[in-house]
Amino acid sequence: MNKRDFIAIGAVLILSAIGFLFFAFQPKGGASVKISINSDVQGTYPLNENRTINIKTDGGFNTVVIKDGSVFIKDADCPDKYCVKQGKINSGSIICLPHRMTVEITDQQQPDAVAR
């Protein structure tokens, strides 16, 4: 290994450190869970209310569970099941590439009231 190697590796490390810091300071409070297929929003749900959402696409199904301030994919029929393996998150996102589904935690504010 030479000096240039260390410069290259160092550059990648700095870049990812900046990335981690950037996301660490993203606001998390009052968060919502946004579920999209491709880029179409299927629904936005408060992160602090427990519920189960069944998402059906042409590709198959994903069972999204919001529980105690975290969200996870309980079950899915995609081949790799990465989305299920990823486990619980309370920031960032879960992606199911085969079904083109994204479950994203956003800082969209919870409404003060819902007109119905």
Partner 1 sequence: MAKRIASISVFTALALIFSYIEAILPFNFGIPGVKLGIANIVVVVALYQLGAKEAIGISLIRVFIIGLLFGNILSLIYSLSGAVLSLIGMMICKHLKLSVIGVSAIGGVLHNTGQLIAAAILLQSGALIYYFPVLLISGLITGILIGIVSFSINRVLDRKKAV
Partner 2 sequence: MDTYMSLTLNGNNPENSIKKAEAFIKKLDRLLSAHDKSSEIFKLNNSGRKSLSPDSLSVLKSALKYYRLTDGAFNPAMLPVTTLWGFPDKKYRVPDSSEVLKALKLAKPEEIKINGSTVKLGVIDMKLDLGGIAKGYASQKTIELLKKEKVDSALINLGGNIQTLGKKPDGSLWTVAVENPNKNSSYLGQLKISDKAVITSGGYERYFKKNGKTYHHIIDPENGYPAVSGLKSVTIISDNGIQADALSTALFVMGREKAVEFWKTSKSGFDFILYTDNGKLLISEGIENSFYSDLDYEVINE
Footprint of partner 2 on this chain (CB under 8 A)?
34, 41-46, 49, 51, 109-116
DSSP code of residue 8: H
- Tokens 């300071």 correspond to what residue? 25
Q: Tokens representing 29?
A: 């409070």
| Choice from 30, 93, 110, 115 touching partner 1 (CB under 8 A) | 93
Dihedral over alpha carbons 105, 106, 110, 115 (to 10 degrees) = -90
What x-and-dash track marks residues 61-80 binding partner 1 by CB under 8 A?
-------------------x
Beta carbons of 76 and 92 less than 8 angstroms apart? no
| Choice from 29, 58, 85, 116 touching partner 1 (CB under 8 A) | 85
DSSP lists the bridge partners of residue 40 as: 37
Output the smallest distance, CB 116 to partner 1, in A. 29
Q: What is the distance in angstroms between the CA of the first residue and the CA of the last residue of the chain?
A: 66
Binding partner of residue 14 among partner 1, partner 2, none, CB under 5 to 8 Å per kind? none
SS3 call for 11? helix
Q: Which residues contact partner 1 (rule: CB under 8 A)?
A: 1-2, 4-6, 8-9, 12-13, 15-17, 19-20, 23, 36, 38-39, 80, 82-83, 85-87, 91-93, 95, 97-98, 100, 102, 104
